[in-house]
Amino acid sequence: MFNLLLKLGELFIEGCDEMSKEYLLLDKIEGPLIFLSHAENVSYGEVIDITLNDGSKKRGRVIRIEKDAIVAQIFEGSSGFSVVNASVKFTGKPFELPMSKEILGRTFNGIGEPIDQGGNIFSNDIYNVNGRPINPVARKYPRNYIQTGISSIDNLATLIRGQKLPIFSGNGLPHNEIAAQIVKQANISEKEGEEFAVVFAAIGVKHDDADYFRKTFEQSGVLERVVMYINLANDSIVERVMTPRCALTAAEYLAFEKNMHILVIMTDITSYCEALREISSAREEVPSRKGYPGYLYSDLASIYERAGMMKQSGGSITFLPILTMPNDDITHPVPDLTGYITEGQIVLSRELFQQNIYPPISILPSLSRLMKDGIGEGFTREDHPDVANQVFASYSKVQDIRALAQIIGEDDLSELDNQYMKFGRVFEEKFIRQSFDDNRSIEETLDLAWEILSLLPKDELERIDPEILDKYYKEEA
């Protein structure tokens, strides 16, 4: 019986050219992977077409070659496969997608196939979804800030056009709302007349979450400028690994070929990493931390580093990935490695959320690495850097005093400590808290910050330049 199968495996249909050879016997199927031997002229990363004997078609990609044996992952998953019912054809091409401006307003699945009623995309511009690394000398350093209308972001972790700034969230926290508010309020295009678009990738998220975003795009009237790549929680994990790459290929095309300003929203990176781990374990690779593969950092970098601006083009990719920290643990490999690659992070706090504060942005661990070059005189307002610095310093002191107050009681705190306690409370209630529809200008945000900082004695504000302090500090009436 085995010999018979082996012979069957060597059988192939000779077509007009070599590329149409079909292989009819698989050695092994494991998880989403298929193992096949006696394959010829297979290139690494090549896409394969599979036809099952019930006529259904699937696609996959070669991920390992050993002599004439190959391992491929099947995008749609391997259910329904038997070792003899699949016919495998090698396309000779890497995973590519056609791109044109027609993709705007369209919805695709995780591997870039249209799932709305709009039909296929036809174009001569074909792009490899893996992209190529941007040459550091071809990058343009991002310097222009994007006003999101959210005080805690604009003042303290300013978003810069071309930045990759992830939202570190937890399950149940309102990260989707914050992302939606940013889409709604942010001035994505720089000047009048410059085009913008939103690329949205749902990676292994719940149906409701994907739906929520669609509704938000609709309500903010940008739906025809949104490209969506949807891989839901119950879709294939192999597809999931391709989803961010498809979305970023679209973003790169629009930004660097068509000079548009692109905001990429991607949720949830944790699902992506878990998919990667699942495939890695099916491949029997040596695991590193928490079972994630050793190349998780490089893999995430190949996604995040595709954001930015380039000298050769007027467009930009601003990238807001969302990830849920398992157990709210910021040292978990996914947020940890992400933080090492991205240019800062916006961290959400369960504590603030439980106090019913929206947006529950935990300002101390939140950071924007690019803000230093994009704020202050000529960009936002002269006092911005000092104010941000002072808020961080004072609010961090509030944390110490709160810890003390828990032990000795608020009544025994010194006068100054009580002022700090008040500052902390008002800061959270008035500055951090704002409604979903509250769109604050940077001036409003900074004025508000001064109003609250002025609750502290003037000589406590030591991070602020004396001149600026005299100009803006509000002496109590």
Residues 153-192 close enough to bind other proteins by CB under 8 A: none
Size of the site for other proteins (CB under 8 A): 81
Structure letter (DSSP) for residue 455: T
Question: Contacting other proteins (CB under 8 A), which of 101, 358, 365, 438?
Answer: 365
Number of residues written out for the chain: 477
- Minimal distance, residue 30 CB to other proteins, in Å: 16
Nearer to other proteins, 127 or 472 (CB): 127
Q: Are 315 and 260 in contact (CB under 8 A)?
A: yes
Q: Are 337 and 321 in contact (CB under 8 A)?
A: no
- Of the candidates 329, 338, 332, the one whose C-alpha atom is nearest the C-alpha of residue 302 is 338
- Minimal distance, residue 253 CB to other proteins, in Å: 13
Separation CA 306–CA 245 (nearest Å): 9
Of residues 268 through 287, those in contact with other proteins by CB under 8 A are 285-287
Separation CA 352–CA 363 (nearest Å): 11
Question: Contacting other proteins (CB under 8 A), which of 223, 282, 341, 448?
Answer: 341
Report CA dihedral (427, 429, 430, 436) to the nearest 10 degrees: 130
Nearer to other proteins, 81 or 295 (CB): 295
The window from 77-85, 205-213, 314-322, 456-464 that contacts other proteins (CB under 8 A) reads 456-464
How would you class 404 by CB atoms within 10 Å of its CB: exposed for 0-12, middle for 13-18, buried for 19 or more?
Answer: middle
Type of residue numbered 353: F
The window from 20-28, 80-88, 238-246, 334-342 that contacts other proteins (CB under 8 A) reads 334-342
Q: Which helix (H) or strand (E) holds 450?
A: helix 442-453
Question: Contacting other proteins (CB under 8 A), which of 154, 268, 274, 343?
Answer: 343
CA distances for 336 relative to 8, 270, 323, angstroms: 49, 11, 11
Of residues 284 through 303, those in contact with other proteins by CB under 8 A are 285-289, 293-295, 297-298, 301-302
Is residue 135 a contact point for other proteins (CB under 8 A)? yes
Nearer to other proteins, 149 or 293 (CB): 293
Separation CA 331–CA 204 (nearest Å): 22
Question: Contacting other proteins (CB under 8 A), which of 41, 219, 355, 441?
Answer: 41
Is residue 19 a contact point for other proteins (CB under 8 A)? no
- Token pair for residue 296? 């998780």
How would you class 132 by CB atoms within 10 Å of its CB: exposed for 0-12, middle for 13-18, buried for 19 or more?
Answer: exposed
- Minimal distance, residue 456 CB to other proteins, in Å: 14
Q: Are 358 and 428 in contact (CB under 8 A)?
A: no
Question: Contacting other proteins (CB under 8 A), which of 53, 56, 312, 441?
Answer: 312
Of residues 369 through 388, those in contact with other proteins by CB under 8 A are 369-370, 372-373, 385
Is residue 459 a contact point for other proteins (CB under 8 A)? yes
- Token pair for residue 408? 């000795």
Question: Contacting other proteins (CB under 8 A), which of 333, 359, 360, 374?
Answer: 333
- Minimal distance, residue 29 CB to other proteins, in Å: 20
Nearer to other proteins, 140 or 425 (CB): 140
Separation CA 181–CA 216 (nearest Å): 9
Is residue 364 a contact point for other proteins (CB under 8 A)? yes
Is residue 47 a contact point for other proteins (CB under 8 A)? no
- Minimal distance, residue 171 CB to other proteins, in Å: 20
Question: Contacting other proteins (CB under 8 A), which of 9, 46, 209, 248?
Answer: 46
Residues 6+ apart with CB under 8 A from 171: 324
Of residues 59 through 88, those in contact with other proteins by CB under 8 A are 64-68
Separation CA 178–CA 360 (nearest Å): 9
Is residue 17 a contact point for other proteins (CB under 8 A)? no
Ramachandran sector of residue 327 (left: φ over 0; alpha: ψ -120 to 50; beta: rest): left
Is residue 132 a contact point for other proteins (CB under 8 A)? yes
Is residue 403 a contact point for other proteins (CB under 8 A)? yes
Is residue 131 a contact point for other proteins (CB under 8 A)? yes
In DSSP terms, which residues pair with 71 in a beta bridge?
35, 64
Of residues 251 through 270, those in contact with other proteins by CB under 8 A are 256
